[in-house]
A = this chain, B = another copy of it.
Amino acid sequence: MSAASDCPLCRPEAHEATTTRVAGHAQLRVVRVLDAPGFPAYYRVIWNDHVAELTDLSSSDRARCLDAVCTVERVLRNGASPTKVNLASLGNVVPHLHWHVIARFDWDSHFPQPIWGTAQRPPDPARLAALNGALTRIDDAMAKALT
């Protein structure tokens, strides 16, 4: 397995405080993001090897990675009925292949802007609390679907 000594995604313990692990195997892991409180149903699919771009993977590895992204999307759609799912592989800050998979809602603070854009309205505490209450069930379904 290739790793880079200065890469935080090569050291899972480096992001333990800001994510919770949902599932994983030798090639990839799925975590839920804890430090974006306006977007509770926010997951990341992290490829374990240190590669920067999707096209650095072989076609079979790429299919495996994207199958996991789709599984996360499917569980989010079933468990949270989002207005839209946002998928993104950016990696400008940490160039180690990881996918953001985010359930978006027409009531969330930034919709229809990307979560990296400008807030459109204040957060909605009641709806956020309801969504937070569904996360354990979603995490469990995701772990099951990813095994």
Contacts and interface: CB of A to CB of B under 8 A. Distances in A.
Interface of A: 52-55, 62-63, 66, 69-70, 73-74, 77, 83-93, 95, 104, 111-114, 116-117
This protein's copies in its complex = 2
A70 B87 contact: no
Main secondary structure of the interface of A (DSSP, over half): mixed
A113 B89 contact: no
Contact of A55 (B77, B95, B113, B117): B77
A139 to B, nearest CB: 19
Contacts of A70: 54-55, 62
A86 B92 contact: yes
Given A116-B113, A116-B117, A52 B84 contact: yes
A92 B69 CA distance: 18
Nearest to A63: B63
A104 B92 contact: yes
A70 B56 CA distance: 10
Contact of A89 (B62, B87, B90, B112): B87
